[in-house]
Amino acid sequence: MLPVQLIRKKRDGGALDEDELRWFIRSVTDGTIPDYQVAAMLMAIFFKGLDAQELATWADAMTRSGDVIDLSRIKRAKVDKHSTGGVGDKISIPLAPAVAACGVAVPMVSGRGLGHTGGTLDKLESIPGFRVDLPVEKFAELVDTLGVCLIGQTARIAPADKRLYALRDVTATVESLPLIASSIMSKKLAEGIDALVIDCKVGRGAFMKTIDRARELCALMRTIGMRAGKRVTCVLTDMEAPIGRTIGNALEIRESIEVLRGGGPTDTRELTHVLGAEMLVLGGAAKDEAEGRARIEKVLGDGSALEVFRKLVEAQGGDPRVCDSPGSVLPKPKHREELSLRTGRVTSIDSEMLGIAALLLGAGRRTKEDAIDPAAGLVIDAYLGELIEPGAAPQIMLHHSLTPEDGRVREARAMIEAAFVIESADKAPSVRSSRILEVIR
């Protein structure tokens, strides 16, 4: 086959057959197609899309471009969760051990943060010694013995996705929904799972800005999953404000441990309960969402989930004392600075702006090569609908290790102040009672 013929066919709106699609992905993986022709195909797909059959074949070819982990020896149902990314999104950390404590195995291959959103791997690595680069064989062993393991994408898992994603990032084709769906699902299907719950964020702080676009993405991911014989549930969740009260890696580990102890912020707990319940239903460990939620709440309240997390941390090389005394184990910033907002009612929070402010302080990375300060971030004591009264304690605490003269601190403070819309104290609060917008089963 000639790449140019396939590019022309897709450019003109034609459908590529199975042999053509599999050949193209094989050639992407082994590098025989040059970047400029791969980029041309990505742009053709951006404008012309992929039909349901093309999408399923494209995603399956990406999945099989590397190893598909064999977890068939594990008797428990194997269910994972994927989030499309949000500011303060630490849900995987309390969720995975909670679901495992309920008897469903969670083989989780997670990602790193880039831009204003944080990554589960970066959060876990703020625990001294914690390793996310385990070999696949060790990953399978821990999923079997503990019911859970959290690692990063290895060179053996969906290698075609790595090359395609790198090119999408520099060719303005990241926003293509078929390419987003196949990128997510190829990595998840390579984990050897039976089912998957997608947490699709919606709002200003999310990649999906509108609920209609989120529904469209979820439909594509469910199509891929169903054609691969996997059950997929999508939970659309509100991302108009940061999740929880912390942004930053070590800070979010502390909040996650609060949830594992049965506490933590209301929204962080709610997302853990709801997503966990859907995972238990898919895994056959609960007959419906209500029973699943009750089981998740129980293991978080009685210490069972925390005990699984303790074993997980130790098995992956981390210091298990973090479960009992996180403040004595997790890295500390050199500086803690207070910031007070003006008085009035908080009516809007730009979570993307807060995520960028945390990045400036060292909590995130602009490029994949940037180093992260695991102690950097924000603690937020001002939320949607809340009233800031005269003389109140400072609402934001900045954690960082930058020098006083570093302009990034000044820039971050300005962004934080601009992120909050504060109106008259008399204005009636308009706040959603739940982060859950819709569940698609």
Q: What domains, with CATH codes, occur in the chain?
A: 3-49 (1.20.970.10), 79-326 (3.40.1030.10), 331-423 (3.90.1170.30)
Q: How far apart are the first and last CA of the chain?
A: 40
Measured distance CA(167)–CA(223) in Å, rounded: 25
Residue whose structure tokens are 């969402």: 289
Do residues 400 and 410 lie in contact, with contact meaning Cβ atoms separated by under 8 Å? no
Give me the catalytic one of 183, 186, 256, 351: 183
pLDDT score of 70: 92
Provide the edge-to-edge strand list for the sheet that holds 387-388. Answer: 387-388, 344-349, 420-423
* pLDDT bracket for residue 114 (50, 70, 90): low
Calculate the CA 224 to chain-centre distance.
19
187 as an active site residue: the answer is yes
Quick check: is 161 catalytic? yes
- What pLDDT, on the 0 to 100 scale, is given for residue 19? 98
Give backbone dihedrals phi and psi of 37, rounded to 5 degrees, phi first: -80, -35
Active-site pick, 64, 168, 254, 293: 168
Mean pLDDT of 9-22: 98
Query: Above 70 in pLDDT, residue 125?
Result: yes
Kindly report the number of other CB atoms within 10 A of residue 169's CB atom: 12
Comparing C-alpha atoms, which of 233, 144, 248 is closest to residue 188? 233
| pLDDT at 188 exceeding the cut of 80 | yes
Separation CA 432–CA 399 (nearest Å): 29
Beta-bridged to residue 200, according to DSSP, are: 236
Residue 116, pLDDT above cutoff 80: no
- Convert the pLDDT of each residue in 141-166 to its tens digit: 999 999 999 998 888 899 999 899 88
The average confidence (pLDDT) of the chain is 94
Beta pairing class for 195-202 and 231-238: parallel
Name the strand (E) or helix (H) holding 204: none
pLDDT of residue 24: 98
Residue from 82, 231, 295, 310 carrying the catalytic annotation: 82
Residue from 161, 194, 199, 350 carrying the catalytic annotation: 161
Rg (C-alpha) for the chain, rounded Å, is: 22
Give the C-alpha separation, 110 to 242, whole Å. 20
What's the pLDDT at 272?
98
Q: What is the mean pLDDT of residues 381-399?
A: 94
Q: Tell me if residue 82 is catalytic.
A: yes
Q: State yes or no: is 194 an active-site residue.
A: no
Q: Render pLDDT for 219-260 as a digit per residue (tens, 0 to 9).
A: 999 999 999 999 999 999 999 899 999 999 999 999 999 999
pTM over 0.85, yes/no: yes
pLDDT interval class at 77 (50, 70, 90): very high
pLDDT of residue 368: 65
State the catalytic residue, choosing from 10, 76, 90, 187.
187
Q: Is 70 designated active site?
A: no
